[in-house]
C-alpha cells in the first residue's frame, strides 16, 4: 500500500509538471503575411509536425493487398493509375518532407465489420506490413515506441514512425490480446471505430452501454498500466466521459474536431473539452472536410435525404435514382472546406481547453481529399502560417506541432512506470465448448 501511495504521488508530480494550466487568453492580434510565414517556418524547424493519424497501412491493404516488396513509398503519385476513381495516395516520403512531418502515428486499422477473431488476425497483418514499410525505408523512417525515441529520430532527420490501432474490435474483447499488441509496438488504441464494440459505444452507432461497460473500464485501466494512449476519437460522448472518469493518464483524440464548430458526432463536445486541462489530454485536429466544415456536413445530410427520397420514388430502378442524384449534384454543388476551417477548430479548442491541449491528426489516406490547400500531407506549413496570421506565437505553434503530444506520451509513460509493480488485470475467458453428445 505504501509503494502504491508513493508511486501515485510520483506520477501526480510528473503530471503536474507535464500538463500546464490551460491558457484561456485569445491569440495575439493578427500579423502580416511575411511575419506569419517566418514564424511558422521557425516553429516547424524547431518542432516538426507529429501527426496523430494516417491511414497509409489501410491503403496498402486495399491497393496492393500488403504486397510491398516492390512498392515505392518515395513517390506514390503513380498509385492514381490503378485506383478506380483515379485517386493517388495522399502520403509519400517526398511529400512528408515538404509537409515538415517529423513523426507519424500510422493507423493499423482493420474493418470494423469483421468478426473479432478475424480482426485480431488482420490487425497483426497491418502491424506487420507497417513495420516492413518502415524497414524498407531506413533512410527516411525509424520505428519508435517512446517519446525519447521520437525526439531522437527527429533530431537525426528521420520520420519517427509509431503504431496506432483504430478500433477496439481489434483486441477481440481480450486484455491478453491487448497486451500482446502493445508488445508488438502499438502505442494507442481508439476504443471504437464507427460501430459499437461489445464493451464501448461509438459516436455513430445507437447506444448499447451508455458509455463503457465494466470490461471497457478495465480496458482503459489496463491501457494506462501499459502506458498505451487511450484514443477517444470515434467514441460517443458518454464513452468519452466514462473514460475520463477512469483514466489515470492523459487521453488523446487522434483525429477529431470541435463539435461546437461542426456538429458531427465524431467531434469533441465542450463538456469534454472542458475536462481536458485536468486530465492533461489532447485533441489532434482532423482535416476531413465534413468533420471541420458545418456547410459540408449539412450538404452531405441533404444529399443523403435526396438519395433516400429518390430510392423511395424509383424502387427497383437504380438508373433513375442515379440520374436524379446526378441532377441534384449539378444543382447543389458541394461546399468546399478550407484550411481556415481547421484553424477555427484550433481556435475553439484553445478557447475552451487551452493551447496545451491541441495537436494535429490529419486522417490522410483515410478520406477522399483534405480541404482546399490541405489536400495531402504537404499542407501543414500552410496551416501553421494561417495560425501565425491569427496571432499564435512560435512557442504556441511548436506546442501544437509536436510538443503537446510528446508531453502526453511522457505523462502516459510516467504513469506506467509508477505502477510497474502492479500485476496485469485478469479477466475470465470463456470455457471451452464441450463436444456434442453422439447421436443414438
Half-sphere exposure of 1 (CA within 13 A, CB side): 0
pLDDT value at residue 44: 98
Q: Annotated catalytic residue: which of 169, 234, 345, 357?
A: 234
Q: Which residues of the chain have pLDDT under 50?
A: 1-23
Q: Annotated catalytic residue: which of 169, 182, 255, 357?
A: 255
Q: In a 3-state reduction of DSSP, which class is residue 354?
A: coil
Comparing C-alpha atoms, which of 163, 133, 135, 138 is closest to residue 72?
133
Q: In a 3-state reduction of DSSP, which class is residue 61?
A: helix
Q: What is the DSSP letter of 419?
A: T
pLDDT value at residue 5: 38
Clarify whether 245 is annotated catalytic: no
Cα–Cα distance for residue pair 115/137, rounded to 1 Å = 33
Helices (H), 173-317: 175-183, 214-226, 237-246, 270-273, 276-279, 289-292, 294-313
pLDDT value at residue 3: 35
Question: Cell 482493420 identifies what position?
Answer: 110
Clarify whether 83 is annotated catalytic: no
Indicate the Cα dihedral angle 258, 215, 197, 62, nearest 10°. 90
- Per-residue pLDDT of 107-161, as tens digits, reads 999 999 989 999 999 999 999 999 999 999 999 999 999 999 999 999 999 999 9
All three cell numbers of 33: 503575411
Q: In a 3-state reduction of DSSP, which class is residue 373?
A: coil
Yes or no: say if 164 and 188 are a contact pair by the CB < 8 Å rule.
yes
pLDDT value at residue 427: 86
Q: In a 3-state reduction of DSSP, which class is residue 230?
A: strand
Comparing C-alpha atoms, which of 149, 191, 399 is closest to residue 141?
149
CATH number for the 33-292+342-418 domain, one of 1.10.3720.10, 1.10.150.80, 3.20.20.140, 3.30.1490.110? Answer: 3.20.20.140
Q: Name the packing angle between helices 339-352 and 380-389 (round to 10°).
A: 60
- Per-residue pLDDT of 360-416, as tens digits, reads 999 999 999 999 999 999 999 999 999 999 999 999 999 999 999 999 999 999 999
Clarify whether 55 is annotated catalytic: yes
pLDDT value at residue 309: 97
Q: Annotated catalytic residue: which of 218, 363, 365, 376?
A: 363
All three cell numbers of 4: 502504491
Cα–Cα distance for residue pair 240/282, rounded to 1 Å = 13
Q: Annotated catalytic residue: which of 51, 92, 182, 193?
A: 193
The answer for 172, left when phi > 0, alpha when psi is -120 to 50, beta otherwise, is: left
Q: What is the DSSP letter of 249?
A: S
Angle, alpha carbons 152-153-158 (nearest 5°): 155
Cα–Cα distance for residue pair 234/191, rounded to 1 Å = 8
Question: Cell 511522457 identifies what position?
Answer: 410
Clarify whether 182 is annotated catalytic: no
pLDDT value at residue 28: 63
All three cell numbers of 408: 502526453
Comparing C-alpha atoms, which of 151, 150, 165 is closest to residue 110?
165
Clarify whether 193 is annotated catalytic: yes
Query: b or e along 79-114 (b: 16 or more beta carbons within 10 Å of the residue's beta carbon)?
Result: beeeeeeeebbbbbbbbbbebbbbbbbbbbbbebeb
All three cell numbers of 434: 464441450
All three cell numbers of 206: 445507437
Clarify whether 166 is annotated catalytic: yes
Angle, alpha carbons 241-243-247 (nearest 5°): 125
pLDDT value at residue 428: 77
Q: Annotated catalytic residue: which of 53, 169, 345, 348?
A: 53
Amino acid at each position: 500500500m505504501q509503494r502504491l501511495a508513493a508511486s501515485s504521488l510520483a506520477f501526480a508530480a510528473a503530471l503536474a509538471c507535464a500538463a500546464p494550466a490551460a491558457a484561456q487568453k485569445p491569440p495575439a492580434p493578427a500579423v502580416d503575411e511575411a511575419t506569419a510565414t517566418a514564424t511558422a517556418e521557425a516553429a516547424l524547424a524547431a518542432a516538426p509536425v507529429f501527426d496523430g493519424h494516417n491511414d497509409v497501412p489501410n491503403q496498402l491493404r486495399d491497393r496492393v493487398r500488403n504486397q510491398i516488396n516492390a512498392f515505392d513509398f518515395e513517390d506514390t503519385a503513380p498509385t492514381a493509375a490503378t485506383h478506380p476513381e483515379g485517386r493517388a495516395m495522399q502520403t509519400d516520403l517526398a511529400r512528408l518532407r515538404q509537409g515538415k512531418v517529423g513523426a507519424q502515428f500510422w493507423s493499423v486499422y482493420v474493418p470494423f465489420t469483421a468478426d473479432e477473431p478475424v480482426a485480431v488476425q488482420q490487425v497483426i497483418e497491418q502491424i506487420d506490413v507497417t513495420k516492413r514499410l518502415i524497414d524498407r525505408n531506413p533512410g527516411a523512417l525509424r520505428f519508435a515506441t517512446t517519446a525519447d525515441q521520437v525526439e531522437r529520430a527527429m533530431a537525426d532527420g528521420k520520420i519517427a514512425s509509431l503504431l496506432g490501432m483504430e478500433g477496439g474490435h481489434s483486441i477481440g474483447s481480450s486484455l491478453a490480446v491487448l497486451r500482446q499488441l502493445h508488445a508488438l509496438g502499438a502505442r494507442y488504441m481508439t476504443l471504437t471505430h464507427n460501430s459499437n464494440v461489445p464493451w464501448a459505444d461509438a459516436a455513430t452507432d445507437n447506444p448499447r452501454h451508455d458509455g463503457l461497460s465494466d470490461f471497457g473500464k478495465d480496458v482503459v485501466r489496463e491501457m494506462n498500466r501499459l502506458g498505451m494512449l487511450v484514443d477517444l476519437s470515434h467514441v460517443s460522448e458518454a464513452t468519452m466521459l466514462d473514460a475520463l472518469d477512469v483514466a489515470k493518464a492523459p487521453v488523446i483524440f487522434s483525429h477529431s474536431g470541435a463539435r461546437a464548430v461542426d456538429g458531427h458526432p465524431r467531434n469533441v463536445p465542450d463538456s469534454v473539452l472542458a475536462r481536458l486541462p485536468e486530465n492533461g489530454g489532447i485533441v489532434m485536429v482532423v482535416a476531413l472536410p465534413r468533420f471541420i466544415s458545418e456547410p459540408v456536413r449539412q450538404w452531405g445530410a441533404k444529399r443523403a435525404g435526396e438519395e433516400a427520397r429518390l430510392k423511395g420514388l424509383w424502387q427497383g430502378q437504380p438508373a433513375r435514382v442515379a440520374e436524379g442524384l446526378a441532377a441534384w449534384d449539378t444543382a447543389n454543388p458541394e461546399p468546399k472546406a478550407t484550411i481556415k476551417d481547421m484553424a477555427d477548430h484550433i481556435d475553439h479548442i484553445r478557447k475552451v481547453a487551452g493551447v496545451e491541449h491541441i495537436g494535429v491528426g490529419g486522417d490522410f489516406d483515410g478520406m477522399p481529399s483534405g480541404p482546399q490547400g490541405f489536400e495531402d500531407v504537404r499542407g501543414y506549413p500552410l496551416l501553421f502560417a494561417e495560425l501565425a496570421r491569427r496571432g499564435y506565437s512560435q512557442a504556441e505553434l511548436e506546442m501544437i506541432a509536436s510538443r503537446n503530444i510528446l508531453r502526453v506520451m511522457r505523462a502516459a509513460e510516467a504513469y506506467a512506470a509508477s505502477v510497474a509493480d502492479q500485476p496485469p488485470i485478469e479477466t475470465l475467458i470463456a470455457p471451452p465448448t464441450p463436444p456434442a453428445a453422439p447421436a443414438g
